[in-house]
């Protein structure tokens, strides 16, 4: 099997998949816990939408999750096409695609019988994910992927108290 050129292994960009909504999300935290921010970049055809927000006292994992929640909430109600969501958070990716099934079966308890951390956000994310055709993809952070880099910039600049560049 021939190796892909580096440019071919890059994540999807605007218009790369006909009809799909391509989303990049990221979270940032200054201290963990501490002030944090989230960023979202959405591509649909030639259109692009950016969003960000922050909280004064949070964790990096909560900001990673908040980015995905805000992105899925922002999808227009009439949109029925596929959604491809890129995250650099293995916590979010594994949580929503693998771990959540066991958590729900065990009444929102982890395998060690302890309560699931961030249950409120997992329940909201599960609800939003179930209502859509979402393909979850992992992208390596800080690796030059344009969508991920922009989501990171948005998240970092949204951290409360952070000086805007």
| Residues of the domain holding 63 | 12-88+133-157
Q: What is the mean pLDDT of residues 109-121?
A: 96
Residue with tokens 């690796």: 143
Q: Is 109 domain-assigned?
A: no
CA 87 centroid distance within chain: 5
Q: Is 46 domain-assigned?
A: yes
Q: Is 47 domain-assigned?
A: yes
- Count helices and strands (H / E) in the chain: 5, 5
For residue 54, what is the enclosing H or E element?
Answer: strand 47-58
Task: Respond yes or no on whether the N-terminal peptide bond of residue 33 is cis (omega within 30° of 0).
Answer: yes
Q: Is the pTM of this model over 0.75?
A: yes
Please list the active-site residues.
26-27, 64, 88, 142, 152
> Residue 8: its pLDDT value, please?
32
Q: Is 98 domain-assigned?
A: no
> Residue 19: its pLDDT value, please?
81
Domain count, the chain: 1
Q: Is 26 domain-assigned?
A: yes
Confidence of residue 33 (pLDDT cuts 50, 70, 90): very high
> Residue 17: its pLDDT value, please?
67
In this structure, what CATH number is given to the domain that contains residue 47?
A: 3.30.420.10
99-128 burial, b if ≥16 CB within 10 A, otherwise e? bbeebeeeeeeeeeeeebebeebbebbbeb
Q: In this structure, what are the phi and psi dihedrals at residue 37, rounded to the nearest 5 degrees?
A: -140, 160
> Residue 14: its pLDDT value, please?
44
């Amino acid at each position: 099997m021939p190796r892909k050129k580096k440019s071919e292994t890059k994540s999807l960009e605007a218009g790369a998949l006909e009809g799909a909504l391509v989303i990049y999300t990221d979270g940032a935290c200054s201290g963990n816990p501490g002030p944090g921010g989230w960023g979202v970049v959405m591509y649909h055809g030639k259109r692009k939408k950016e969003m960000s927000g922050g909280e004064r006292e949070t964790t990096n994992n909560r900001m990673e999750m908040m980015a995905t929640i805000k992105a899925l909430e922002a999808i227009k109600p009439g949109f029925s096409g596929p959604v491809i969501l890129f995250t650099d958070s293995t916590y979010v990716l594994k949580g929503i695609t693998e771990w959540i099934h066991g958590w729900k079966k065990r009444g929102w308890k982890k395998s060690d019988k302890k309560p699931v951390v961030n249950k409120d956000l997992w329940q909201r994310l599960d609800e939003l994910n179930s209502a859509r055709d979402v393909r979850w993809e992992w992208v390596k952070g800080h690796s030059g992927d344009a969508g991920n880099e922009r989501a990171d910039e948005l998240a970092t600049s949204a951290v409360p108290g952070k000086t805007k560049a």
